[in-house]
Chain A
Amino acid sequence: METMFAQDIEDLKNLYSFSKEELDILERVDKAADEIALPEFENYLNRKVNMAGVQIAKKHGILGLPVKKEYGGLGANALVTALAKERLGQVGLSFSSFYNVHVFLTQLALQRWGNDYQKEKYLKPASKGDIIMAFGLTEPDAGSDPSAMQTTYEKRGDKFVLNGSKYLITNGSIANNEIIFAKSKENKGEISAFIIDTKSNGFSVSMQLKEKIGLFASDTSMLDFKGLEVPKEDVLGEIGKGMHVAYSSLMNGRMGVASASVGVIEDCLNAVLSRAKERVQFGKQIGKHQLIQKHIVKIAQNLEMARWPTYFAAIRKIAYEKDPDNKDLEREIDKRTALAKKIASYSAWDSADHAVQVFGGFGYSLFSPVGRHYCDTRVTRLYEGSDEIMELKIAAHLLGDDFKAFN
């Protein structure tokens, strides 16, 4: 098992008692991560979606990790899932972003809000990796404020008809099915969630965003819906309650981003420790230069700052998963995941910057793992809720609802 990952599990044994089954799951994820690393690297440099990584994850049976066994998953709790995501984050944030959307944002939404028909039709094949899922909330003019979305739906007979666009959709062009949010044409302000089939008439991919500044092995697309028909059976959750689905999904997504960010920091630390011992300048290993040691310590500090709030949020989320209607727990998890995401994503970005500095010129290259992390981590401070949204959320939790910046 990868050393730092194994150390995290050992550290956590002081707080949590892992079952043999859970340790086996983590072993399985570790093996999958080892195999995913090479195609992730090759696809990253070729700017192609890492579909080989998806197949490897499918082969190892980890594409439905937190999903209940009855729906084809492994039934891992939030802490085991967070550790798994951390290990995948070490490999790179491209595959990790695919995983975050396919598992955290969509499958967990289907598990929480889906009916039996939807769980059978979508959740089971998604957890096995037979279908790929995407999540469409963001639009060109609706990012941090999803209520400003322009995509509409209207009821026609026993179907709903969607028109509009979604932007910056991870897995958008590779997914078989997507959870899409739209606003009622009749009842302005009412937002609903729909499970759409990407083979349906009226669905098209209008752009694959290749000009990103990172995540080169991940698919990011713009989608168009023109008279896209969705059967009424494919409304996810109650009609008009789509934002409940969206917010709970984003909470799960934030845990995923926080955990993956911890993985990135670990990979940066690992990389700089090797580099500092191997690279010789001015006649001695660069690790013996104290200014290099300062960068290493900063990354180590970041790791400690990031991993414990993430693990604690995950541990508390275990209780919430057992009692999902408990509003007090929901509020606590909302705050803890926001804190974990804010701290871990910023720390990962900062760590990648320090790691590039230790690597020198070679770090300023996509050949080096730290160079890739440097490009990729910037987006973790934006997606699944920007730094600013996390701050407003945390402040409102601390000050009280009267101080909420938005509703």
Chain B
Amino acid sequence: MRLDFNGRFTVNVSIDKTFAFLTNPESVSRCISDLEGFVPKDKSSFEAKIRVGVGPIHGVLNTQCSISDTRPPNSATLTIDGSGFGNKIRMEIKFTLASKSEQLTEVTWISTTEMKGIMTGLGEGMIRKLSQEKMEEVIERVKNGAA
């Protein structure tokens, strides 16, 4: 199952600070909702345990997260690759930054998620809605964190 979302927001911070936030594993990990474990690996990657689920179907995904395709200060891609309790998930969020003024940055994001396993059997409608809610939560955290 493939899920695509995108959006745009602005933060009252310079483009350099926004870029620094989005490429720092520690700050990015704080934007992941239901994070149960965080182990930094190097300057651009980390391991994370993420609790996911709906209703009685829930469990923990063991994920490898990396920040790649960095083009300071204009773009970076966060990749979350994980598996757990019969599911495989790969998510990519590409952030593109544009400076609107010294203290105003516009962030455009495009996410692509590929899912396989038990969760997909719940039905695309429900998974899409849940994923969208989660993604909005993550973006809200990015927005608040970067600011």
Inter-chain CA distance A363–B1, complex, in Å, is 17
Residues facing A in B108-134 (CB within 8 A) are: 116, 118, 120-126, 129-130
Chain B residues with CB under 8 Å of A274's CB are 1, 120, 123-124
A359→B129 contact, CB < 8 A: no
Classify chain A: how many residues form its interface, as a range. 20 to 34
* Chain A interface, >50% SS class: helix
Chain A residues with CB under 8 Å of B129's CB are 34, 37-38
A274-B1, A278-B120, A362-B118 are contacts. A41–B54 as well, Cβ < 8 Å? yes
**A376 CB to nearest B CB, Å:** 14
Inter-chain CA distance A274–B122, complex, in Å, is 11
Inter-chain CA distance A41–B53, complex, in Å, is 12
Chain A residues with CB under 8 Å of B126's CB are 37-38, 41, 369
Chain A residues with CB under 8 Å of B118's CB are 362, 367
Chain A residues with CB under 8 Å of B121's CB are 275, 359, 362-363, 365, 367-368
A278→B116 contact, CB < 8 A: yes
Chain A residues with CB under 8 Å of B125's CB are 2, 34, 37, 90, 267, 270, 369
Number of interface residues of B (CB under 8 A): 16
B124→A271 contact, CB < 8 A: yes
Chain B residues with CB under 8 Å of A275's CB are 121
Residues facing B in A319-377 (CB within 8 A) are: 359, 362-363, 365, 367-369
Chain B residues with CB under 8 Å of A359's CB are 121
Question: Among A2, A37, A46, which residue has the most Cβ atoms of chain B within 10 A?
Answer: A37
CB nearest neighbor in B for A370 = B123
Inter-chain CA distance A278–B56, complex, in Å, is 24
Inter-chain CA distance A271–B122, complex, in Å, is 9
B124→A41 contact, CB < 8 A: no
Inter-chain CA distance A367–B54, complex, in Å, is 10
**B120 CB to nearest A CB, Å:** 6
Contact residue among B1, B55, B120 (Cβ-Cβ distance under 8 Å from A45): B55
B1→A278 contact, CB < 8 A: yes
Inter-chain CA distance A362–B122, complex, in Å, is 9
**A323 CB to nearest B CB, Å:** 39
Residue A42 interfacial (CB < 8 Å): yes
Residues of A within 8 A of B (CB): 2, 34, 37-38, 41-42, 45-46, 90, 267, 270-271, 274-275, 278, 359, 362-363, 365, 367-369
Q: Which 4 A-B pairs have the closest CB atoms?
A: A42-B55, A369-B123, A362-B121, A368-B121
